[in-house]
Amino acid sequence: MADEKKWRPPGDDDEEEEEIDEAAYKTVKDALLFVIEVSPSMLTAPPPTDAKKADTDSPTSAALQCAYALMQQRIISNPNDMMGVLLYGTEKSKFNGEDDASGNPAYPHCYLLTDLDVPAAEDVKALKTLVEDDDEFKDLMVPSKEKVAMANVLFCANQIFTTKAPNFSSRRLFIITDDDDPHTNDKPAKSSAAVRAKDLYDLGVLIELFPISKPDKEFEKRKFYDDIVYNQSPADPEAPAPMSGPTKASSSTDGISLLASLLSNINSKAVARRALFSNIPLELGPGFKISVKGYIIFKRQEPQRSCYVWLSGEKAQIATGVTTRTAEDTARAVDKAEIKKAYKFGGEQIPFTVEEIASLRNFGDPVIRILGFKPMSMLPVWANLRPATFIYPSEDDYVGSTRVFAALHAKLLSSHRIGVAWYIARANAAPVIAALYPSAEHLEPDKGTQTTPP
């Protein structure tokens, strides 16, 4: 795997090759909004059992604990990402202090617990207090007597994303509920909710459903949420569908804690899927190109440092980094214009200009150029030097790329061969010899559900 690019103070840049291979994958900002239902069934704790790890949390409480845990994680790993919590079905209403002309709440029975923003210490404390303080929890979690229209909830979420994260490339809505049919026998309400969901999709918001099954009833997504949740990513409609597919309904049966089940499901989709590169030409022959996008299969989540903190004083302060280059013999400060780059050949320093160094490093534009084909058996295990990149066709630059890519994939699979390619990932990157390895699609024998995409 390539070395990670470490954080440096502003202005401490060098002129070496910009290693943005996987770092750029994480710099895309993400806005995540939890939408949690508050209803009598969501506030009912499971019946007591004799199990050692018996579940004692109500679904709403478990969902808030998940939001609190995820907020703590994102402060460390993604400090620039936004997160918010919206409750619906509550007796109280709150939405940025907005009311309609008659003084009524703009979105009845929708309570914006934490506004969509970069989490601050106050937000974390408020959510922690609500999770741990039973009195405050009971005071706020009072279900409304009226049924909440899902179209109103989705429109409220639309307004939050539009005002708080208008230019974010990744915006996601996590719905946690145990009601698989909120508008039974009400076709106009279902149609209105579907329209609002389509508006969110057109806005670039990906809706994820985290269903909760009741003890005596399984959650049936087809009744309502099949028209609400889209499988494709709105920011990248041509991207492959997620391998995980629909989220399995969480429950507290079989000794599995509802909180643990929800945490597992949410963590599996907490990281947004982003393209590593977009529309790189895949060259099959002279003058024969198609367009592909690349996706990282996995990415280690690590703490992301955005600054240095000085702790030696009475009060912690953000340190400002300053870089100064000095002469070795006189310790005089050296300006950047005085510095020249040179390489040692035959015991003598040979200087190069900036243009000469740039021309030496330039191997051409980013491309995946097929050089030939080899049997799969000739690819040894030790040739895998870094995690693989999943590529998928795109019609943006070359119409017909999907058909050509599908034909190439099918031919490689049937012939048990791999493609040997010349791969330049980005501008000024060193070329590498890569293998185009076709993966076969796998389906479950009984259900026919896709487990591994092609």
pLDDT reading at 419 higher than 90? yes
- DSSP state for residue 70 in the 8-state scheme: H
What is the mean pLDDT of the segment spanning 167-172? 84
pLDDT reading at 69 higher than 80? yes
Q: What pLDDT is stored for residue 433 in this prediction?
A: 93
Q: What is the pLDDT of residues 283-333, one digit of tens each?
A: 999 989 999 988 887 777 666 666 788 888 888 888 887 888 888 888 888
C-alpha dihedral sign at 375, 377, 378, 383: positive
Which long-range contacts (C-beta less than 8 Å, at least 24 apart) are formed by 18-24?
Answer: 18/426, 18/428, 20/426, 21/276, 21/425, 21/426, 21/429, 22/276, 22/296, 22/299, 24/276
Report how far apart, in Å, the C-alpha atoms of 447 and of each of 114, 227, 293, 371, 444 are: 40, 22, 30, 40, 6
What is the mean pLDDT of the segment spanning 323-352? 85
272 contacts 30 by C-beta, under 8 angstroms: yes
pLDDT reading at 442 higher than 80? no
In DSSP notation, 247-279 reads PPPB-S-TT--HHHHHHHHHHHTSSPP-EEEEE
Question: What is the per-residue burial (b if ≥16 Cβ within 10 Å, else e) of 349-387?
Answer: eeeeeeeeeeeeeeeeebbbbbeeeeeeeeeeeeeeeee
Q: What pLDDT is stored for residue 168 in this prediction?
A: 83
What single-letter amino acid sits at 168? Answer: F
343 contacts 349 by C-beta, under 8 angstroms: yes
84 contacts 112 by C-beta, under 8 angstroms: yes
Q: What pLDDT is stored for residue 48 in this prediction?
A: 66
pLDDT reading at 158 higher than 90? yes
- CA–CA distance, 226 with 170 (Å, rounded to integer): 22
Q: What pLDDT is stored for residue 243 in this prediction?
A: 41
- CA–CA distance, 441 with 452 (Å, rounded to integer): 5
DSSP-derived 3-state class of residue 201 = helix
209 contacts 231 by C-beta, under 8 angstroms: no
- CA–CA distance, 233 with 220 (Å, rounded to integer): 23
pTM value? Answer: 0.64
DSSP-derived 3-state class of residue 23 = helix
170 contacts 29 by C-beta, under 8 angstroms: yes
- CA–CA distance, 249 with 241 (Å, rounded to integer): 19
